[in-house]
Chain A
Amino acid sequence: MSDPLQPPPNWAEEPPPPPPIPPEEASPEEAARALAATGVVTLQSATEAELDALDRRLDERVFRSMGSISVRYVALFMLAGLVVTVGLFAWGYQVYNGIGVAGIRRPVFWGFYITNFVFWIGISHSGTLVSAILRVLNVEWRRPLTRAAEAMTVFALMIGGLFPIIHLGRPWRFYWMIPIPNERGLWPNFRSPLMWDLLAILTYITASSLFLFFPLVPDLAAVRDRSTGIRRRLYRLLSLGWRGSQQQWNRLHLGMRIFTIVVIPIAVSVHSIVSWDFGVTQVEGWHSSVFAPYFVIGAIYSGIAALMTVLVLVRRGLHLEDYITLRHLDRMGKVLLAVSVIWFFFFWAGFLTDWYGGNAISREIQRMHMFGSMAPLFWTMLGVCMVLPFLTLWFRRVRTSPGAILVISLLINLGMWIERFLIVVTSPMRNAVSFDWGTYRPRWPEIAITVATFAAFTLLYLLFSKAFPLISLWEVKEGWRIDRWRREGVMEVESDVPSIEPAAGTATGVAAAGVAAAAEARS
């Protein structure tokens, strides 16, 4: 930890003070360190040489973390790999013996698997929110966070998308849901919410993969230029012939501007559709019109919490404290607090309506939640999802403490998992035919597979961190220059694409070329 961030008294309102101007004799490296150590890098008086030094330092930091493999990395990799292997074994065991090795039964036909499905699809919403919404709103501090968030979306979707297949009675026939011409002469049933699910998730994973890939291209080119041999060939292929020409920057900026706006409604629709798996049924406790917005906000909530967990671990693990700073955690913490309140509002809207309605079945479900067998889960959920963030996140001291943020965000995600469990699993326990009330108890294959998905997520992230820069290099560099020029009054920043005089030719580096090119496209 380079800097515990000593904020001035008026810290929240005022822009941070300009960094100390490094003495003349300081090397560019030291100058860069001094600049970067202030959190959000303000470059009011930074010279081009100092900016270049910052660039080099960022490159060096990121590429070094990509190139080296520590003992801790290997240990974590092996551990995660072991857990994933156990999970795969459990899945194989289940496929071989029948879905009955899981704890599902009548009337609770869906158990941990669909809970995990909803949970992971929820996690995947962090990428869209943090990246797309912050991009649309032109929030500058998003820059070092977007890559980690977008990668998270893709990984969470890869995992979440597996669960509908894992939970099938005949998983080897899952492709019968895909609308392709087939020998059965049978089209799938588009009235089924499960079909909507399939299409929504396929759309979302396509869109979010591209959303991750587009801004990755210039960084892939940077990796390409630094690597040799087979790796160079691979990255050359991946970077799609990126040369950093103005035309290429124009297209990247334009593409991202369009795509950013397109991907937001896709994300909202995906979790709405997941919620309609439940909302459109006749099952009491599921049948609810508040579910779509409730699930969307719940997804954003758990997604942001998961992103904060990842950010805390990544900045520590990859030594990126100078780039993913305490200020970022602080701001994300504020967003998390706001979203937790909105989440509780939707929870309460549904809860109150059910309770006041007085339907015998939903009253029984609520009794079970509040005072019955599910009471420990229910109150834990409310405690960690509502009370805990509300009591803690108001304080800057908490928001800027990585340890506290790690604990809070993990607990919130535990709570959100329980929330999904309560909805998915406990509602069907009570139904109109009281002779058929039932319960549910998970068995080891379900638990093993559930744990394995968290390990799989870790594994994917570990692999990604060695293959690709986890910080969007060009976007951070672009941000530094935009920041500097704005402070100098060289340009007005209205959007991602700044208006700037062609005199920006003074700018150097890949990112600066991009800014200038984009500016040209605009004028």
Chain B
Amino acid sequence: MACYAENNIGVSDADQMAMGRNRQWIRIERYWDHSEYPDVGARFLPIMCQQCGQAPCEPVCPVFASVHSYDGLNTQVYNRCIGTRYCGHNCPYKVRVFNFFAPEFPGPLNQQLNPDVTVRSVGIMEKCTFCVQRIRRARQEAEVQGRPIYDGEIQPACVQTCPPGALVFGNGADPDSQVSRLMGSRRGFRMLESFDTRPSVVYLKRASTTDV
């Protein structure tokens, strides 16, 4: 919800959701184990764009809509996109979201659009940006004040909203940041490492010896 509000994501109706045309930039994947009720076990994995260092979506785009930014983000330039959807196929994580129709914001959602974020038109691809608008604003403020960006200063909407602090965002290149310490954990893994996409998102395994 925070993500929808922050990033002006259009709302899909039930039919579209059922077809798999939801526009979720971050989704919770649920994997059930085979146990019987009431001892049902489930795993959750929040999946957003992994911001790959070596992103398969980038080389296939004919119009440079999917490009790497100077600071390592895997950006999607909306107004370049012509909607070939090739990037969506080549993304191993299937986190790219396509605007099959023009986005709709049934009231009162139309009253709370974020002015920092473009509303995407029909026929273009979009995805999680790590809330690039917040990153850019923090960087500009830091530059104006002539200081580095503090650790934790930038919080994407999902990180900001998560009550137990399950999501952490920060500068992985700074060895003292919270995120760097967590990334170095032995529990850390990246999704689908066999594709060698070098994602920027690191997941931490559950710290339990019984539950593999």
A interface, CB within 8 angstroms of B: 97-100, 104-107, 109-110, 164, 167-171, 173-174, 176-177, 184, 186, 188-189, 191-195, 198, 277, 281-283, 428, 431-433, 435-436, 438
Contacts and interface: CB of A to CB of B under 8 A. Distances in A.
Contact of B20 (A105, A170, A176, A186): A105
B31 A435 contact: yes
A169 B82 contact: yes
A198 B62 contact: yes
A174 B123 CA distance: 12
Contact of B59 (A97, A191, A428): A191
A104 B98 CA distance: 10
Shortest 3 CB-CB contacts between residues of A and residues of B = A169-B83, A169-B123, A100-B100
Interface string B20-47: 1100000001110000000000000001
12 contacts: A99-B123, A100-B100, A105-B20, A106-B20, A106-B96, A109-B85, A169-B82, A171-B123, A189-B61, A282-B195, A433-B47, A433-B94
B98 A169 contact: yes
B81 interface: yes
A106 B123 contact: no
Nearest to B102: A98
A440 B186 CA distance: 40
Contacts of A106: 20-21, 88, 94, 96-98
Contacts of A164: 84
A99 B98 CA distance: 10
B83 A168 contact: yes
B122 A170 contact: yes
Interface string B110-129: 00000000000111110000
Contacts of A105: 19-21, 100
Contact of A176 (B82, B99, B121): B82
Interface of B: 16, 19-21, 29-31, 47, 56, 59-64, 80-86, 88-90, 92-94, 96-102, 121-125, 192, 195
Contacts of B59: 189, 191-192
A421 B109 CA distance: 40
A400 B3 CA distance: 67
Given A99-B100, A177-B62, A109 B89 contact: yes
Contact of A188 (B20, B64, B99, B100): B64
B64 A186 contact: yes
Contacts of A170: 81-83, 121-124
Given A168-B82, A168-B123, A194-B84, A283 B89 contact: yes
A302 to B, nearest CB: 24
A107 B62 contact: no
A231 B124 CA distance: 47
B29 A435 contact: yes
A409 B198 CA distance: 49
Contacts of B19: 105
A100 B81 contact: no
B137 to A, nearest CB: 26
A350 to B, nearest CB: 19
Nearest to B23: A106
Contacts of A283: 89-90
Contacts of B29: 433, 435
A23 B64 CA distance: 75
B150 to A, nearest CB: 35
Contacts of B61: 189, 192
Contact of A194 (B21, B86, B100): B86
Question: B interface, by DSSP: helix, strand, loop or mixed?
Answer: loop
A106 B63 CA distance: 21
Contacts of A98: 99-102, 122-123
Contacts of A186: 63-64, 80
Given A98-B99, A283-B89, 18 more contacts: A98-B100, A99-B123, A100-B21, A105-B21, A110-B89, A169-B123, A176-B80, A188-B63, A194-B60, A195-B62, A281-B89, A281-B90, A283-B90, A431-B92, A432-B192, A433-B94, A435-B29, A435-B31
Contacts of A176: 63, 80, 82
Nearest to A198: B62
Given A107-B88, A107-B94, A173-B82, A100 B101 contact: yes
B60 to A, nearest CB: 5
A99 B90 contact: no
A264 B31 CA distance: 52
A188 B90 CA distance: 19
Contacts of A198: 62
A189 B62 contact: yes
Contacts of B20: 105-107, 438
Contacts of A428: 89
Contact of B62 (A104, A194, A282, A436): A194
Contact of A435 (B30, B80, B122, B192): B30
A433 B82 contact: no
Contacts of A435: 29-31, 47
Given A105-B21, A192-B61, A435-B29, A282 B123 contact: no
Contacts of A184: 80
A192 B93 CA distance: 20
A222 B139 CA distance: 75
A428 B80 CA distance: 25
A171 to B, nearest CB: 8
Given A97-B101, A186-B80, A435-B31, A177 B63 contact: yes
Nearest to B99: A169
B85 A169 contact: yes
A167 B85 CA distance: 9
B26 to A, nearest CB: 13
A285 to B, nearest CB: 11
A167 B123 CA distance: 10
Contacts of B62: 177, 188-189, 192, 194-195, 198
B82 A177 contact: yes
Contacts of A171: 82, 123
| Most B Cβ at <10 Å: residue of A100, A171, A428 | A100
A106 B19 CA distance: 8
Contacts of B100: 98-100, 104-105
